[in-house]
Amino acid sequence: MAKPKHVILAVDDEEDMLATYKAILGRTYDLKLANSGEASLEMIKKDNIDLVILDILMPKMDGIEALRRIKEASPGVDVIIVTASKEIKSAVECMKMGAYDYVTKPFEVDELKAAVAKALEKKELLLENFCLKAIIKESESFCELIGASKLMKDIFRAIDDVAKTDSTVLITGESGTGKELVAKAIHKKSGRAEKPFVAINCAAIPDNLLESELFGFEAGSFTGAFEKKLGKFELASGGTVFLDEIGCMSPAMQAKLLRVLEEKAIDRIGGRSPMQIDVRIIAASNINFRAAIIEGKFREDLYYRLNVIPIHMPSLRERKEDVPFLLDHFLRRFNKEFNKKVAGFTEEAASLLLSYQWPGNVRELENMMERIVVLSKNGKITSSDLPIGASAKEEPKNIKPLSEAVYLLEKAEIDRTLKNAQGNKTKAAKILGIHRTTLLSKMRALRMM
């Protein structure tokens, strides 16, 4: 969709001057013409004017009076005064009254064009700053979720609506899209905001430990259980439990979670009787639940229990109009954090960043901006400052996104090592130089067990 032209009103009582303005500005801008101060005021009342070019010497209502009335009627409209060289004193008076600039007759074409471009650029910058401040202010109430696109506005509305209830929420979307921020925003806007928000990454904790993390255990319930431990559900009492990467949860744990959802109660390991809990559950995952259900990796009944209120986070490539706001947000944050004064982006660098597909979504953009600000000198970011991935306008079709490439590489390496170790996970972990529990966690995340 083409950007609408700026609307400029040229005011002069001489037809030749109006024809001159039309010849100079008519093709570039939406130019409107008025042959008197009175006519200009009528047009300003009915049209959305961005800039007025106003002659001082006019009969009846001169430019000074017209300027005064224009500013009364529409204070936000910028005015460029056009005057003869001998009337500089009047031009200065107009500047004191709020005129943006002045040019003297006879003016050079380039001089007028430059004055107009400068005035409109300043107006755009003010509008951009106003919009940015509004977005940043909104993001503060949504836990730093940034966006002005329709997709993000729909997410904000969903968060506001969901926060009023205690319904279970399932947040889906690719990695790095901000699913945990959505969960935090729902909690922050809910009636549980003063109570704890407890997050747990189901993919990062081995299955034999996940149960005790969620439900806790009694002293003496197993070897090493020297004292009672409260689980996440008890620690979050009255608040919210966020189960991230729930798609990595084993079938056995899924069955236990289903019981929690149905009965609003938990069983501590080694406990004698169920304990009632008062928590809201929000879950998130990047898996395809339909496919996981068909493959027998995720319980269908649990899916329906979790998916009471579904929220899908769009990828960054689906909402590219938000990229400039995100770049500005992280630039400001990292400038402040690292005491830098990086000024912004060159036109070429900005163009490359806007055309990039962002396979790692907002997380990739955030990490890239941190790296650039840390390594950059205090000036504008150029295309040479950008990582190799972001400096390509199109992703080569034969290259996989980094996250997918790493996924496949890790899976292949673990599979090869396990074969060499004849399936012995302890031995395989030693060969890989990691702890056995880390290996099991990775295998679970890679759907290898």
Say if pTM beats, i.e. exceeds, 0.95.
no
- The reply to whether CATH 3.40.50.300 applies to domain 147-314 is yes
Nearest of 41, 59, 52, 50 to residue 99 by alpha carbon: 52
Q: Is residue 240 within 8 Å of residue 280, measured between CB atoms?
A: yes
Provide the 3-class DSSP secondary structure of residue 174.
coil
Per-residue model confidence (pLDDT) at position 229: 84
Per-residue model confidence (pLDDT) at position 129: 57
Domain borders along the chain are 7-129, 147-314, 317-391, 402-445
Domain spanning 402-445: CATH superfamily: Homeodomain-like (1.10.10.60)
* Element counts in the chain: helices (H) and strands (E): 18, 16
Tens-level pLDDT at each residue, the chain (449 residues) = 345 688 999 999 899 899 999 999 998 999 999 999 899 998 888 888 889 999 988 888 888 899 988 888 887 788 998 887 667 777 778 888 888 888 888 888 998 999 999 888 877 766 655 555 555 555 555 667 888 788 998 999 999 999 999 999 999 999 999 999 999 999 999 999 999 999 999 999 988 789 889 998 887 777 777 788 888 999 999 999 999 999 999 999 999 999 999 999 998 888 778 889 999 999 999 999 999 999 999 999 999 999 999 999 999 999 988 888 888 889 988 999 999 989 888 878 888 888 888 999 999 999 999 999 998 887 889 888 888 555 544 444 444 444 455 556 667 778 777 887 888 888 887 777 677 777 776 777 666 76
- The reply to whether CATH 3.40.50.300 applies to domain 317-391 is no
Per-residue model confidence (pLDDT) at position 270: 82
Residue 258's contacts (CB-CB under 8 Å, 6 or more residues apart) are 299, 301, 302, 305
Provide the 3-class DSSP secondary structure of residue 30.
strand
Intrachain domains 147-314 and 317-391 with the same fold:
no
Domain spanning 7-129: CATH superfamily: Response regulator (3.40.50.2300)
Per-residue model confidence (pLDDT) at position 25: 92
Per-residue model confidence (pLDDT) at position 127: 60
Per-residue model confidence (pLDDT) at position 401: 45
- Alpha-carbon distance of 131 to 368, in angstroms, equals 24
Per-residue model confidence (pLDDT) at position 418: 82
Q: Is residue 176 within 8 Å of residue 360, measured between CB atoms?
A: yes
Token pair 């209830």 is found at 165
Residue 382's contacts (CB-CB under 8 Å, 6 or more residues apart) are 346, 348, 349
Residue type, 440: L
Per-residue model confidence (pLDDT) at position 440: 76
Per-residue model confidence (pLDDT) at position 3: 58
Instruction: Return the ∠ at Cα 396 (arms to 390 and 398), rounded to 5°.
Output: 135
- Alpha-carbon distance of 330 to 374, in angstroms, equals 12
Per-residue model confidence (pLDDT) at position 400: 44
Per-residue model confidence (pLDDT) at position 390: 58
